[in-house]
Amino acid sequence: MALHEQTLTELKAGLDRGDFTAVDITQALLDRIAAHGKDLNAFITVMGETALANAGQADKARAADQGGVLNGLPIVHKDIFCLRDVLTTCGSRMLKDFVSPYDATVVERLAGAGAVVLGKTNMDEFAMGSSNETSFFGPVKNPWGLEYSPGGSSGGSAASVAARLSPAATGTDTGGSIRQPAALTNTVGFKPTYGRVSRYGMVAFASSLDQAGVITRSAEDAALLLGVMAGFDERDSTSIDHPVPDYVAGLGESLDGLRVGVVRQHFDAGLDEATGKAVRDALAVLEARGATLTEVDLPNLDYCVPTYYVVAPAECSSNMSRFDGVRFGHRAEDPKDLLDLYCRSRGEGFGAEVKRRIMTGTYVLSAGYYDAYYLQAQKVRQLISEDFKKAFEKVDVIAGPTTPTPAFKLGAKTDDPITMYLNDIYTIGANLAGLPAMSTPCGMVNDFPVGLHLVGPHWAEASLLRTAHQYQTQTDWHTRCPEAYR
Amino acid sequence: MSLDKDQVQHIAMLARLRLADDEFAETQDKLSRIVDFVDQLSAAPTDAVVPMAHPLNQAQRLRPDQVTEANERERMQKNAPAVADGLYLVPKVLE
């Protein structure tokens, strides 16, 4: 099997056997990125030289029987993660020349385990978007059809894994930004429990919702990476000190007795019919593996998207206030006074969607509107969280569709922000409640992939990964690759 | 349009954002649609519900007030648009 066709787990075994070196893998993937990266617009920075140097170091370490669990394995980072001395743009004009002075904890941990970073991937500006069209660097294309969106905001990460330019990528998920692009590109997307993975060095969008995760080609690879990334970090004040189990070791356990919840409202009119059928077939596979299906109710599901579009913009407007044209980032030419410097630097540096979210947040937090919007949204958020709590008294995992439809065309949803926002109707609840969730490939509709969405109670990462892994032993959807990228 | 021109201008000023003339109409239209959309939250039954500020309902962790980072002023200021003698430059604030 060619190097680019192999998963992380397969590459790891090959490296252990001495079939090839880390330099071989790195060179093969850099060649793929050179051949396909531009068409897909998946990368903002390619780190060829440092990648080869780091791969060489990994090979030396291996020869000396040293090196971590990811020694010599390739990865790409969403351009929201700070990498020391490397451009970190967040897909924005505001940061187009920003060279990070330090490493994010996620970056540091993966590098510490020996992973080799190939480059940094394109994304919606400051992770605000569901189609990758808000990037200052232009939209990423979906490898399953170049006129289609790969989803967002981690679209470059998803497209590069789907097109076999890298076996794995990091991503971030505030309302579905890992899981939705994973579903639309036939990859595995994993968002851990809030506080599970450090947010230090990850440019903040909405601090009570943001969580780092991974996009891979198998649940096994997601488990491998999560084991390295997860764990308490002193430098992130929202990091939670909770033991990290061996995620890979638990994958083989059977699904006997696993209680899977099916949410009635997930299969309402908003769901594309063929997508719904693919998801129902997937549920039948879980049942055949020993799981029991139970209907559960999330009565406040319809409030998820409006709640999110109050809470997330409110937090965004606070976080984005750090961009002032003074300490870093874009600065307007010839400001006439300090106010002019702030207003023009921000007006020029941010794109339209980011400005809208900052303004929405400013509005819902402003005097006279705070109680009606922000406080009310925080209360509804509590109701949504309680719905999940009640559901998880009856079931271990909730399963359903990741997105209402397969991939949509670039430009199809840019006129109406609400149509775009409703894409995330099934994924947003997990962020509001801080729950772990993932998407795994479960079918094709008109040659475009469909994702199965799994949500668990807090800290149930292992049972989600096991459910997805057991599903993947029975199906081959996750192994499918668009013809042009085989 | 649920937000009039003056309101949008006021919000933009609060947010310290200068909107170009050609983006104003679209911003007003889309912001209004977003506000209309989130207005449906007012119908949710939230009497006696405690607002949720943290997804795991946890309190903010505190740490001892100790210096943990080295001073790397030059390194940090490499990203600054305008500095002199280790200071950040801004337009004159006081005459």
Query: How many residue pairs bridge chain A and chain B with CB atoms within 8 Å of each other?
Result: 172
In a domain, A122, yes or no: yes
pLDDT of residue B1 exceeding 80 = no
- The DSSP output letter for A141 is P
Nearest by CB to B20, from A317, A336, A347: name it: A347
In a domain, A458, yes or no: yes
Name the residue among B5, B9, B35, B15 with its Cα closest to residue A358.
B15
Query: Rounded to an integer, what is the distance from CA A413 to the centroid of its chain?
Result: 21
Kindly report the backbone phi and psi dihedral angles of residue A453, in degrees, each rounded to the nearest multiple of 5, phi listed first: -100, 130
Domain containing residue A74: 3-260+394-485
pLDDT of residue A235 exceeding 90 = yes
Give the C-alpha separation, A476 to A464, whole Å.
18
Q: Considering only CB atoms, which chain A residues are within 8 Å of B33? A: 416-418
3-class SS of residue B48: coil
Neighbouring residues of B58: CB distance < 8 A, sequence distance ≥ 6:
A195, A240
Give the C-alpha separation, B89 to B7, whole Å.
32
Nearest by CB to B17, from A240, A343, A382: name it: A343
A321 preceded by a cis bond (ω within 30 of 0): no
> Cβ A303–B44 below 8 Å, yes or no?
yes
What digits encode the pLDDT tens for the residues A162-198? 999 999 999 999 999 999 999 999 999 999 999 999 9
The answer to whether the CB of B72 falls within 8 A of the CB of A94 is: no
Q: Considering only CB atoms, which chain B residues are within 8 Å of A237? A: 60-61, 63
In a domain, A434, yes or no: yes
Interface probe with A: pick from B11, B52, B54, most Cβ of A within 10 Å: B52
Chain A closest CA to B38's CA: distance in Å? Answer: 5
pLDDT of residue B57 exceeding 80 = no
For residue A342, what is the nearest residue in chain B, using CA coordinates? B16
* Mean pLDDT value of segment A343-352: 98
pLDDT of residue B58 exceeding 90 = no
Q: Considering only CB atoms, which chain A residues are within 8 Å of B42? A: 372, 376
Chain B closest CA to A129's CA: distance in Å? Answer: 14
Return the pLDDT at B18: 97
The answer to whether the CB of A310 falls within 8 A of the CB of A373 is: yes
> Cβ B33–A418 below 8 Å, yes or no?
yes
Q: For the domain that residue A182 is a member of, what is the CATH number?
A: 3.90.1300.10
Reported confidence tier of residue B63, pLDDT bands at 50, 70, 90: confident
In a domain, A286, yes or no: no
Nearest by CB to B51, from A99, A309, A378: name it: A378
Q: Give the number of domains in chain A.
A: 1
Burial of A262 (0-12, 13-18, 19+ CB in 10 A): middle
What digits encode the pLDDT tens for the residues A21-73? 999 999 999 999 999 999 999 999 999 999 999 999 999 999 999 999 999 99
The answer to whether the CB of A438 falls within 8 A of the CB of A176 is: no
In a domain, A357, yes or no: no
Q: In the Cβ-directed half-sphere of A367, how many Cα atoms lie within 13 Å?
A: 2
pLDDT of residue A334 exceeding 80 = yes
3-class SS of residue B45: coil
> Cβ A359–B60 below 8 Å, yes or no?
no
For residue B82, what is the nearest residue in chain A, using CA coordinates? A326
> Cβ B54–A421 below 8 Å, yes or no?
no
* Mean pLDDT value of segment A95-124: 98
Q: Between β-strands A74-78 and A116-121, what pairing exists: parallel, antiparallel or unpaired?
A: parallel
> Cβ B55–A208 below 8 Å, yes or no?
yes
Chain B window 32-91: which residues touch A at a Cβ cutoff of 8 Å? 33-35, 37-38, 40-42, 44-46, 49-56, 58, 60-61, 63, 72, 75-76, 78-82, 88, 90-91
> Cβ A310–B38 below 8 Å, yes or no?
yes
What is the CATH number assigned to the segment(s) B5-41?
Answer: 1.10.20
Q: Considering only CB atoms, which chain B residues are within 8 Å of A366? A: 11, 14
> Cβ B31–A325 below 8 Å, yes or no?
no
Give the C-alpha separation, A117 to A74, whole Å.
6
Give the C-alpha separation, A93 to A45, whole Å.
15
Reported confidence tier of residue A297, pLDDT bands at 50, 70, 90: very high
Q: Considering only CB atoms, which chain B residues are within 8 Å of A206? A: none
pLDDT of residue B5 exceeding 80 = yes
Return the pLDDT at A185: 98
pLDDT of residue A472 exceeding 80 = yes
Segment (H or E) for A455: strand A448-455
Return the pLDDT at B60: 82
Amino acid at A226: L
3-class SS of residue A367: coil
The DSSP bridge partners found for residue A454 are A399, A438
> Cβ A417–B30 below 8 Å, yes or no?
yes
In a domain, A131, yes or no: yes
How much is the CA Rg of chain A, to the nearest whole Å? Answer: 21
The answer to whether the CB of A305 falls within 8 A of the CB of A425 is: yes
Neighbouring residues of A196: CB distance < 8 A, sequence distance ≥ 6:
A211, A230, A240, A242, A436, A459, A461
User: Where are any strands of DSSP class E within B44-93?
Assistant: 83-84, 87-88
Burial B30-69 (b: 16+ CB within 10 A, else e): bbbbbbebbeebeebebeebeebeebbeeeeeeeeeeeee
Return the pLDDT at A268: 86
Break chain B into its structural domains and give their ranges.
5-41
Q: First CA to last CA across chain A, in angstroms?
A: 11
DSSP A159-198: HHHHTTS-S-EEEEESSSTTHHHHHHHT-EEEE--TTSB-
Percent share of chain A, pLDDT over 90: 98
> Cβ B44–A98 below 8 Å, yes or no?
no
Mean pLDDT rounded to a whole number for chain A: 97
In a domain, A290, yes or no: no
Give the C-alpha separation, A246 to A250, whole Å.
7
Give the C-alpha separation, A38 to A111, whole Å.
26
Return the pLDDT at A255: 97
For residue A309, what is the nearest residue in chain B, using CA coordinates? B38
pLDDT of residue A155 exceeding 80 = yes
- What Cα–Cα distance (Å) separates residue A397 from each residue in A86, A287, A302, A327, A425? 39, 13, 20, 45, 18
In a domain, A81, yes or no: yes
Q: Which two tokens stand for residue A463?
A: 């049972």
> Cβ A376–B34 below 8 Å, yes or no?
no
